Structures are given as structure tokens and as C-alpha cells.
Amino acid sequence: MVKLEFEHRQAGHCESGVTRNLLNYHHHKISEPMAFGIGAGLFFSYLPFLKMQHAPTTSFRVWPGQVFDRATKELGVKTSIHTFRNPKESMDKLNAVLEQGYPVGLQVGTYHLPFFPPEYRMHYNMHNMIAYGHDNGNYFISDTLMENLVEINYEDLKRVRFAKGAFAPQGRMYYPTYVPKDIDIRPAIIKGIRKTANNMVGIPFPIIGVKGIRYLAGRMRNWEKKLGPEKASYYLGQVLRMEEEVGTAGAGFRYIYGAFLEEASGVLNQPWLREISFEMGENANKWREFSYLGSRNCKKRGKPDQSYDFLADILLEVADREEKIFKKLATIK
């Protein structure tokens, strides 16, 4: 039996929250937006060829695992990361690490997660949570989506750690092993901002970054004609689900990123970043307007309030805003 003194705090985004809570345990205080920004978590891509729940995938974030990996690397934190083939081995390793006194981040699938809200229990393999102890085949879990601490038994935990399908977690577990005492987070912030700016405006590929938003706008205009009203509404719903749910804290991470820029402005003593953080906030509100109008369409299915052209125009507007924001951010020194 081991149960570490672990402070549970909710977060908007699971992986950033896990990163913050793990660092917090090792006495490095950092906010969730800071972990997200240094980890360069913001992104956009539209993948028409990769279907999830029978509709194309839209992603507002980077690859799973990157936020923790980047943030800890840039902060000089030493980490241990494992994936496994053998489920039993992965559980033995988890027990051993917990007994050494480290809380552990786990990547899991959400379909069989017993404590998860039923409405979110789909086959989504990129969820993250923390195990902070175990007792007699029962594991103590801090999940940043949940209001309270939760528990899970051995068999269920093994099953969710070895969920199959796209982005299968393969028992992925990760934890900081050494956190330096005095960390200068300023260079890490600047590198994180540059990386995100490059992801958003520096990659010459049509489905990624700001170009990806414009690409999605273009596809959206033809949905109704190509797919019929039912399916068009379902495709739109899929974009909105990826934007507003599955742990984005709203508006596809744009709010968290704005909060990060605001905090960064203070830490770096660069007031112009504060102005940009407000532009990002306005931009996030525009995304939210898009999802609000879009959800009205989904509700009425065949008889949309707004035409898809109208929604696509909003996307073009946010693409212009984000292009302006990230071109400025790319010049940070």
C-alpha cells in the first residue's frame, strides 16, 4: 500500500494539467497555461483522410505526449518515459515506481474508464491522468477532468492502458525524476512561442496551421452539396466536438494560449505580448461564436440557421487573425 500526498487540481487540458500537477508535486510551481505554452501545445490541422467516429479529424493541438516531453525538456527536468508490450510488466513497473515515491502520468483510452463521464466514453486514446498510489489492487487516480479524486481497479486500469486503435497508449507512463531547484523559465517561454509560431505560420503544407484553417473553410463550403444536409451537419459537429470538448478548455485551446501569453508578458517583461494576448482572447471568442452558431445548425440538422458559407467566412476571419498574431510572435527575442 502506498498513497502519496498529492494535490488534485482540475485543468482545462488533461496533458498540460498532468504536467503542471506532476511538477507541482516536485515543488516547481507552474500554471497550466505556462505548461501548455512552453510545451508548444497549440496547433491546427485538418485531416480529411483520417476518420474518427465516421467523420474527418480536426486537431487543435500537437501530437499526444509532446506537451509533457517539450515542457520538461525545456525546463531542464529529467524524466522517465516508458511504453510496453506486455501489460503485466507495465503494471509491475507502475507499482514499483509508485513505491519509490513518484506519482506517474498515464496515457489511457477513455472508453473503459469507469469513472469517466458517460457522455465522453468513446474510443479516445489520448487521455492523460495521474496515479498517485495503490492499495490491494486498487489504484488512486487524479484525473484533471474530474472534480474529485477517483479510483480504478487493477483489471480496468490494465485495460485502459492497453486500449487499441489510433494513438494506442501501449501502456505509456511518464514521470519527472529530477527537477532542478532554480529554473529560469524565460528561455523556455521564448522557445515555446517560436515553436508554436512556426507550427502555425511556418510550415508550407496546406492542411496544417493557419493554412489548415483556410483549407477546412474551403471544404466546408461544399459539404452540404457533396454530403447532403444530415452528413454535413455531422461533419460540422465533429469539428465542434474537437474544438469545444475532449479537454480543450474551450475554443480549441485558444483561451489557454491567450492566458499563457498574458503570463509570459509579465515574466519576460515584454508589454507588447500582453496586447497580443488580448488579440488571442478576442480570437478565442470568435472561435466560440463559430461553435455557437455551428451548434445551432447541428440542432436543426436539415434546416440550418446559418449557411455553411457563412460559417466558412468566420473561419477565414480567425485564420487572418491567427496569421497576424503568429507572424508577430515569430519575431520574439
Partner 1 sequence: MGNISDEVKDKSTGDNELIYKYNRELFYHFDKETGFTQEVDYQNPNNQVIIKQSWDAAEQRLNEVKQLVIIGKLSPIAYYMEKILMEVPMLAAYMEISGWRVRRHLKSRVFKKLNQEILARYAAIFGITIEQLTKPDFLG
Binding residue (CB under 8 A) for partner 1 from 79, 138, 295, 306: 295
Q: Is 122 in the site for partner 1 (CB under 8 A)?
A: yes
Of the candidate residues 27, 29, 54, 303, the single one contacting partner 1 (CB under 8 A): 54
Of 226, 244, 269, 254, the closest CA to residue 326 belongs to 254
Q: In the beta sheet, which residues pair with residue 52?
A: 55
Residue closer to partner 1 by CB (options 98, 242) is: 242
Residues 156-175 interacting with partner 1 (rule: CB under 8 A): 164-166, 168
184 touches partner 1 (CB under 8 A)? no
Which of 56, 87, 202, 250 touches partner 1 (CB under 8 A)? 250
* Region near partner 1 per CB under 8 A, out of 57-65, 202-210, 240-248, 304-312: 240-248
* 71 near partner 1, rule: CB under 8 A: no
* One residue of 63, 96, 99, 117 binding partner 1 per CB under 8 A: 117
Shortest distance (Å) from residue 244 CB to partner 1: 5
Alpha carbon separation from 209 to 37, 231, 244 (Å, rounded): 16, 25, 18
Between residues 246 and 319, which has the closer beta carbon with respect to partner 1?
Answer: 246
Q: What are the b/e assignments for 38-56, b being 16+ CB within 10 Å?
A: bbbbbbbbbeeeeebeebb
Which of 298, 306, 317, 320 lies at the binding interface for partner 1 (CB under 8 A)?
298
Residues in the chain, overall count: 333
By CB under 8 A, residue 282 contacts partner 1: yes
Q: Which is nearer to partner 1, 76 or 250 (CB)?
A: 250
Smaller CB separation from partner 1, 192 or 211 = 192
Asked whether position 304 contacts partner 1 by CB under 8 A, the answer is no
275 in contact with partner 1 (CB under 8 A): no
Total of residues contacting partner 1 (CB under 8 A)? 51
Contact between 98 and partner 1 by CB under 8 A: the answer reads no
Backbone CA torsion sign across 217, 221, 224, 227: negative
The window from 22-30, 129-137, 139-147, 190-198 that contacts partner 1 (CB under 8 A) reads 139-147
Q: Which of 22, 256, 319, 325 binds partner 1 (CB under 8 A)?
A: 256
CA atoms within 13 A on the CB side of 81: 13
Residue 290 binding partner 1, by CB under 8 A = no
Nearest to 276 by CA among 220, 327, 233, 219: 327
Residue numbers at the binding site for partner 1 (CB under 8 A): 10-12, 53-54, 111-112, 117-123, 144-147, 164-166, 168, 233-234, 237-238, 240-241, 244-245, 247, 249-250, 255-256, 258-259, 262, 277-278, 281-282, 284-285, 291-292, 294-296, 298-299
